[in-house]
Structure 1
Amino acid sequence: MTTLLKPAPAMIPVARPYIGEEEERGVLDVLRSGWVTQGPRVAEFEAKFAEYVGCEHAIAVSSCTTALQLSLIVSGIGPGDEVICPSLSFIATANAIACIGATPVFVDIDLSTYNLDPAAVEAHISTRTKAILAVHQIGLSAELNTLHLVAAKHGLKLIEDAACAIGSEYDGQLIGRPVGDIACFSFHPRKIMTTGEGGMITTRDADLAERLRRLRQHAMSMSDVTRHNAKQIAIETYDEIGFNFRMTDMQAAVGIAQLGRLDSMLDKRRSLAQRYSNALEHLSWLRVPYVPENCRHNYQSYMVLLIGEAAAQRDHIMQRLLERNISTRRAIMAIHREAPYRSASWEDSLPQTSLVTDTGMILPLFHQMTEEDQDYVIEAIHEVQL
């Protein structure tokens, strides 16, 4: 085994949330206020998030998974319907569809971007298809204009799984002002900005926004804040079956602080990603990320694709890096290989998805990562023995 010239540092993780004193103060203020559930800070977070992405309405919820579920429900999708989506995604993409009784129909990806291949989508549309759920994979926008044309042609809803895409751009517009109907974001700690757990839905449709706000809180006809501030007795009603998908004011306080530092976090990630690409693009056994000219990546993850002999040795390479205190992760999962969705027919129809999930490798990238840390990772990759 080759020995690195530099001593191994402490473990370099794949990701690490960046939380500072502003977040701590925000949570403490909420705790002292006496209002800790969904309330004024959630409303403030929603307004600031909507302003940031340039969309009329933002609705905070408990996770991106629940955001997707609610978005499908208000789009009129339910049992017996089909929703086209990629298999190359976290399993929550498909689970959100299955949990409302609909069926996910997996479509292969464009190998250059790891996003849904619009050319393959149309071939999978049936009389039961009601929506296309496009994932902006690891922060790179899907080809929204083409997907929107396909959706419009067939009378389908277009919903964006933007879990990883905060700060990403498509055609000069931040992801979050949907090209289709709705976009859904995640604030899990693995994402660029976090509220611990949490999600956000954005839409330009005022009627959808109003219904989403009701459904996240048991379909209650008025919010707790409205009822609390009422000058006369106010008795709420429940006109349909709803859910407890609320965000707390404590989470929102963290989100407000995170949103305030988001641009600096994006700048740092893009700078580190460019350093990776500059240092690794000449290696013949891996491929660095490709970004179309009309997109701006946020690099929620930095994933390389291993080629040739290296592809067959991915797990060996990951182990060698781990032995040098460098944590990596396999590529994005293939949902169709997991037990709830496993089928031999999917394996045959999703060759690019299978290729990426088998040969991709995610490298460490996080705000606190120093150039010295990154140089150590780059050096270790250069010294890999195939």
Structure 2
Amino acid sequence: MIPIAMPLLADEEADAARAAVLSGWISQGSEVAAFEQEFAALVDAPFACAVSSCTTALQVALAALGIGPGDEVITASHSFIATANSIKYQGATPVFVDIDPDTYNIDPDRVLEAITPRTRAIIAVHQMGMPCNLAALVALADRHGVALIEDAACAAGSRIQVNGTWERIGKPHGRVACFSFHPRKVITTGEGGMITTADPELDRKFRLLRQHGMSVPDTVRHGSPRVIFEDYLVVGYNYRMTDIQAAVGRKQLERLPELVARRRAVAARYAELLGNLEGLRLPAEPEWARSNWQSYCVCLPDRVDQRSVMQNLLDIEIATRRGIMCSHREPPYVKMRHRHELRHSELAQDHSILLPIYAQMSQENVAFVANAVRNEINR
């Protein structure tokens, strides 16, 4: 079987996890602190706060910004449902807008149309690792006085060109960027997330909220020669990362440049092998963006049935996934009043498939997948 994705984990990660287990401190501690510092340095962010997932990262970001009932948050329906759910957790209302069909990312023009006096934030998803048009979105958010949150769940290692300089996604362009370390992502800690920001007050709130609103972290209390009684200043959450996860994450960070380079090579080979297929639309990388190619999404010709193609590929042991889901079609959101057309989002879900892509994918497997897709299109 050629899987849709495969994390690259080896002895280095196993040894790091073992060392954390044997250290006597396995909850949020020194490994988490080191992982935060190393991640912040990698993306050139002043602050990075580790949490239990990207979903919790998004919720904490919204909570720290004071977003709640009565507020609207503009985002893409074309995203994993966690993006919309994080808004609902805060009692706010997600306002779904359409995507650019070439990049599968939120369309800034559609965002502009959706802004109302109740809009408090925009969550822009770097879908499948492809950077959004941040220049347009940052200008839009600043002009209308709303917060821009980057859902960078898939985008560790992706880059964007800003004033002629290549910068990693995660360097604060909006107010906050949120990452995932799920096994489907380019680097993994099993589960886990990270929040980056340039705002020290937001970072302070993130750290308070992730640990029950505790005024003094347990690491400080355990290391103090004097008895400390903590207070619980706000209603917080248990959204901590463990030192075992962070130890693995630190080794994964070391691999990140190599992992991205390998994925970019696989994506380039797919483009060579599939670029001349009539009716098949390949993902477009803008000249100002460099994707980490967390996923490789192709849009099938209208005449080709998505499910049949996926089943035929599975029958010859090639795993695929349908195009990214649309949250507005799912039961928790289907009854919402949708003010904006979502045509391109729905077409992407219904006519696109994700092809296998991972760092250790062989050239033979890439060619096998591409040839199978070619056969399906020409059937």
TM over 0.5: yes
SS of the equivalent of 1:231 reads coil
TM-score by length of 2: 0.97
Which residue in 1 is equivalent to 2:309?
A: 317
Give the 5 Å matches for 1:62-141: 62-141=52-131
Deviations along 1:149-180, whole A, 9 cap, x unmatched?
11111110000000000011111110001211
Query: CA separation in 2, counterparts of 1:354 and 1:345?
Result: 16
Equivalent AA in structure 2 for residue 74 of structure 1:
A
| 2-structure distance, mates of 1:344, 1:31 | 46
Match of 1:7 in 2: none
Q: Is 1:35–2:29 an aligned residue pair?
A: no
Residue equivalent to 1:175:
169
Task: Give the direction of change, closer, same or farther, for the CA distance of 1:242–1:377 in structure 2 (3 Å limit).
Answer: same
Q: Which amino acid aligns with 1:361?
A: I
CA distance in 2, matches of 1:368, 1:113: 25
Cα gap change, 1:32 to 1:126, in 2 (>3 Å): same
Q: Which residue of 1 aligns with 2:244?
A: 250
In structure 2, C-alpha distance between the alignment counterparts of 1:344 and 1:77, rounded to whole Å: 19
Question: Which of the numbers 332, 336, 349 marks the counterpart of 2:341?
Answer: 349
Aligned residue in 2 for 1:50: 40
Pair 1:382-2:374 in alignment: yes
Question: Comparing 129-138 with 144-153, which one deviates more in the overlay?
Answer: 144-153
Equivalents in 1 of 2:235, 2:336: separation in Å?
Answer: 37
Match of 1:265 among 259, 263, 266: 259
SS of residue paired to 2:196: strand
With over 3 angstroms needed to count, the CA separation of the structure-2 counterparts of 1:348 and 1:212, relative to structure 1, is closer
Amino acid at match of 2:156: I
| 2:219 aligns with one of 201, 221, 225 | 225
Correspondence for 1:373:
365
1:233 aligned counterpart, secondary structure: coil
> The residue matched to 2:27 in structure 1 has which SS?
coil
| Structure-1 residue corresponding to 2:205 | 211
Question: Partner amino acid for 2:327?
Answer: I
Residues 329-365 of structure 1: CA deviation (Å, up to 9, x unaligned)? 1000011000000048649711111111111110001
Deviations 1:106-165 (A, max 9, x none): 011111111111111111111211000000000011111111111111110000000000
Counterparts of 1:156 and 1:345, CA distance in 2: 22
Alignment equivalent of 1:360, drawn from 344, 352, 361:
352
* Residues 336 and 347, structure 1, Cα contact 8 Å, conserved in 2: no
Offset at residue 227 of structure 1 (A) = 1.1
**AA partner of residue 193 (structure 1):** I
Deviations 1:174-208 (A, max 9, x none): 00012110000000011010000000000011111
SS of aligned partner of 2:3? coil
Using the aligned pairs only, state the percent identity: 50
TM-score (normalised: structure 1): 0.95
Moved more, 160-169 or 315-324: 315-324
Counterpart Cα distance in 2 of 1:327 and 1:93: 25
Are the aligned partners of 2:326 and 2:346 in contact in 1 as well (CA < 8 Å)? yes
Cα root mean square deviation, aligned: 1.2
| Cα displacement string for residues 212-262 of structure 1 (whole angstroms, at most 9, x for unaligned residues) | 111100111121211111122211111111110000000001100100111
Aligned to 1:5: none
How many residues in Structure 1 have an aligned counterpart in Structure 2? Answer: 374
